Amino acid sequence: MSHPANATEEADYLRRIDDAVAHSGPLQQWLQSRSSQVGEFPSKETKRLLGALQDRVAADCWMNDPSLVPLLPIVLRAAANPEDLSGLEPWYRLLLQRPVGWLGLLRIFYYPFLVGLAALSLLVFFSVFIIPTFVAMYDEFELRVPNDTKLIFALCNFLATQTIAAVGLIALGIALAIGLIKFIGAAMDFMERSRLVGFLRRGNRKNLGSMARWSGALSELLAIGTPAALAVTIAGIASQRTWLRAQSRRLALSGAKPPGTWSEQRCSRSFARSAIAILDMHSESGEGSSVLRDLAQSYAVRWCNRPRPFYGWVGPVLLLMVAALVMHAMLAIFMPMLSLVTSLSR
């Protein structure tokens, strides 16, 4: 990555990153103490941060490695005030955040998954040991069963004779459902340039976390003298959000071309007006990084206080659906028997 600055300026902000890493002992102790608390497990990001600090990774790597760029704000913020690291708590919580992958979704929906597994096991049991008795009885009396009963018998017969295939189809359905959730999330990220999508996602937990990382990285980089255009580009990488990274790259390219202010750039509309105004302040007076640092802290605190999405309703809803299906199946199976008993009693 080429730096749009002279050699002295470049050496200065890179040197300050190296100094922050070299004097990161208090931060390392704080991270180790914080992660050793009961019920806390160091995330991959926390372990990566501790490893990079202990190995004293060079400043060029911190600025160019996409896995280290999001960790740079907490290092620089700790170096600015090593005596009091209590303000790092929101940033530590951000380090604990894990991307929701396949296993993450299964962890979130483990209760509905267990309910579905129990319902499937019960259905297999009925299909193998109970339903064949009813089928033989109805065939013996040559009863005309309704379509619902025929459908239940056909499904149970498939489960009893093709159990592995049925389980495979159910697993495929679960995988497709998880894939659909991931696809919808990716599509929403892609369409975030739309005002409607941006309005719907404004202020949600994911948006707050991304803006905390973006503004946090930008404030700390500006504070150590990083050229504004480069700082904006790296802040986009630190946001860990594809759309915000692309917009930051566009903003950096347009803002690096004088004359004009950051707020005059068309792509600046994709960012909070307060952040762009602070960028203009920094360009005019060289100040503004402290204000932007406070803004980043507010984003991080709001992210911590914003409750996680609640999926506890999925289990009860699935349980009600399973109960309704079981009730329908029982009625479909026993209705022909009721008609048989009625005809025999006449």
The 10 Å CB-count burial string (b at 16+, else e) for 100-139 is beeeebeebbeebbebbeebeeebbebbeeebeebeeebe
- The pLDDT of residue 184 is 76
Compute CA distances 180 → 21, 243, 310, 336, whole Å: 42, 20, 19, 40
Close Cβ partners of 79 (under 8 Å, ≥ 6 residues apart): 19, 20, 23, 24, 27
Check whether the bond before 307 is cis (ω within 30° of 0). no
- The pLDDT of residue 5 is 44
Checking if the pLDDT of 18 tops 90, the result is yes
Determine the Cα–Cα distance for residues 219 and 275; give it in Å rounded to an integer.
Answer: 10
Mean pLDDT, all residues of the chain: 80
Percent of the chain exceeding pLDDT 90 equals 16
3-state secondary structure 274-297: HHHHHHHHHHHHCCCHHHHHHHHH
Checking if the pLDDT of 226 tops 80, the result is yes
- The pLDDT of residue 4 is 45
Determine the Cα–Cα distance for residues 279 and 142; give it in Å rounded to an integer.
Answer: 84
DSSP 258: S
- The pLDDT of residue 173 is 82
Close Cβ partners of 291 (under 8 Å, ≥ 6 residues apart): 278, 281
User: pLDDT tens for residues 308-332?
Assistant: 666 666 667 777 887 787 788 888 8
User: pLDDT tens for residues 138-186?
Assistant: 888 777 888 888 888 888 888 888 888 888 887 888 788 778 877 877 7
Determine the Cα–Cα distance for residues 173 and 35; give it in Å rounded to an integer.
Answer: 38
Checking if the pLDDT of 275 tops 70, the result is yes
Q: Which residue has the higher pLDDT, 166 or 300?
A: 300
| Cβ neighbour number for residue 146 with a 10 Å cutoff | 12
Joined tokens for residue 231 = 């700082």
Burial class (CB in 10 A: 0-12, 13-18, 19+), 66: exposed
User: pLDDT tens for residues 77-126?
Assistant: 999 888 888 888 888 888 776 555 555 556 666 777 777 778 778 878 88
Average pLDDT over every residue of 217-227: 91
Confidence band of 206 (pLDDT split at 50, 70, 90) = confident
